[in-house]
Amino acid sequence: MTDSSCKVYAVRSPDEVRHILALKDTCDLKFLFLRLFITIWVAFANFTLWALRLILFRKWGYKTKDFEHIVAYTVGIVGDNVVMIPALAALRRRYPSAKITLVTNCQVWDQEAAGGVLQSLPYKDRLIILGDDPLQRRGFRFILNERLTGVTCDLFVNLSPFGNRGWIGAVVREMIFARKLGASHAVGFRMSTYSKRGIFNKVQHHFVKNEPRRAREVLKQLGLVPTEGEDLLPYDANARNEVLRKIGENGVSSESFFAVNPGAKFESKCWPADRFAAVSRWIYDQYEASVFVTGTAGERALAQSVVTAAGNRAINLAGETSIQELIELLRLSKGCVTNDTGTMHLAAMVGVPTVAIFTVRHSPFHWLPLGSHVVSLFNPIDCRYCYDDECKIGACLEGISVDDVIHGLKDVLQEMPVSRSVPEEHTVAHIPDAG
């Protein structure tokens, strides 16, 4: 039996999460031994990567050289790519004349969604989206993905999350990838933890880095700081007009509506739909504001269940907006309630007051969003750190009540000015891809 009545915490920073979870650790001999093992393993792995880096790349010039061709590499879809944008913006500002190629590996996930986030970014010259690893092994040889033919660089910036997941083989392959592209300088090859699950689950949260802030460590090797605290997503006039049209068709004022996002990549990350509906009813009654339910086309039925349970006080837009339209919808909204998913990171980036709802399958510290107006909720019950993406129990989410979310939303709304304006330097309709 798990305890779903554990206190629900509302936090703003990763340090708060880490402190709360550390207080709940059971520091017996086994726990200390497991922590010591990972500490030693990570130190040895990083020493090995450091030695390999000395062999493959140059030792000097990282903070002084004006690089001409840069490749930034990452893995993932919406959220994974949004959190690396501050690093990409910092690279563009430091190297304004460099040709920057952004390579993202979506693996089995949605390439269209990744393109929606990345295609119009002004911080890169070329975007290459892969559906597979950039390197294929043929015996003892590594062959570049054919989509990378002709790509070269003198600086390789590795923003991939694999080192933060303890996958040393993947990190070594990324180093070989950088060398295959001709990079003389390369950064971002460090291990944070040990990848094996099971007996190590309870101690992993002491080692994993917060993903939205991990680029600070990568760029530090170049003497740079990620461009944080800004809305770095380009504005799209066409997308905004389309959003305003859809809002108007539903009889809603563009001055008064909220967004809720009840879906996520895994069902185990989804707060109950009936509770999203209850929050939607409260928003409608409290603020006389409409609620748009967002999501992918595959989440339309889930979104409709929220609309139905809300007594039609909400409007289903799941599957009806592109990524850029979703961004503009969030910019126009008064607030957002969302699960831990890509929409959460988009909302945090554009500065909309947001309540983010986390499971404790793994530590909320891992993906706590980067934003000034975000309250994150989690319920650290006894069965935390199961690392089970298919978890059907959901006790940690069941323990987060409608009142918990309402209190969080009221708190974050009180911090905001009466209106949010669009910075002039970001008001661009579309920035074409130079590649």
Total count of domains within the chain: 2
Residues 300 and 380 in one domain: yes
In a domain, 23, yes or no: no
Q: What's the DSSP call for residue 120? A: T
In a domain, 89, yes or no: yes
Residues 202 and 336 in one domain: no
Query: DSSP H helical segments within 57-84, as ranges?
Result: 78-82
Residues 285 and 414 in one domain: yes
Residue 26: phi and psi, rounded to 5, are -100, 100
Residue 141: phi and psi, rounded to 5, are -105, 150
Residues 213 and 242 in one domain: no
Name the 3-class secondary structure at 8: coil
In a domain, 163, yes or no: yes
| Residues 52 and 179: beta-carbon distance below 8 Å | no
CATH number of domain containing 308: 3.40.50.2000
In a domain, 226, yes or no: no
Q: What is the pLDDT along the chain (435 residues), one digit of tens a residue?
A: 345 457 999 999 999 999 999 999 988 999 999 999 999 999 999 999 999 999 999 999 999 999 999 999 999 999 999 999 999 999 999 999 999 999 999 987 888 989 999 999 999 999 999 998 999 888 888 999 999 999 999 999 999 999 999 999 999 999 999 999 999 999 999 999 999 989 999 999 999 999 999 999 999 999 999 999 999 999 999 999 999 999 999 888 878 899 999 999 899 999 999 999 999 999 999 999 999 999 999 999 999 999 999 997 899 999 999 999 999 999 999 999 999 999 999 999 999 999 999 999 999 999 999 998 999 999 999 889 999 988 888 899 999 999 999 999 999 999 876 445 444 444 433 333 333
Range(s) of the domain holding residue 278: 237-421
In a domain, 214, yes or no: yes
Residues 350 and 252 in one domain: yes
Amino acid identity of 33?
A: F
Residues 205 and 249 in one domain: no
Residue 128: phi and psi, rounded to 5, are -125, 120
Residues 317 and 381 in one domain: yes
Is residue 158 within a helix (H) or strand (E), and if so which, with residue range?
strand 155-158
In a domain, 300, yes or no: yes
Angle at CA of residue 321, ends 317 and 324, nearest 5°: 140
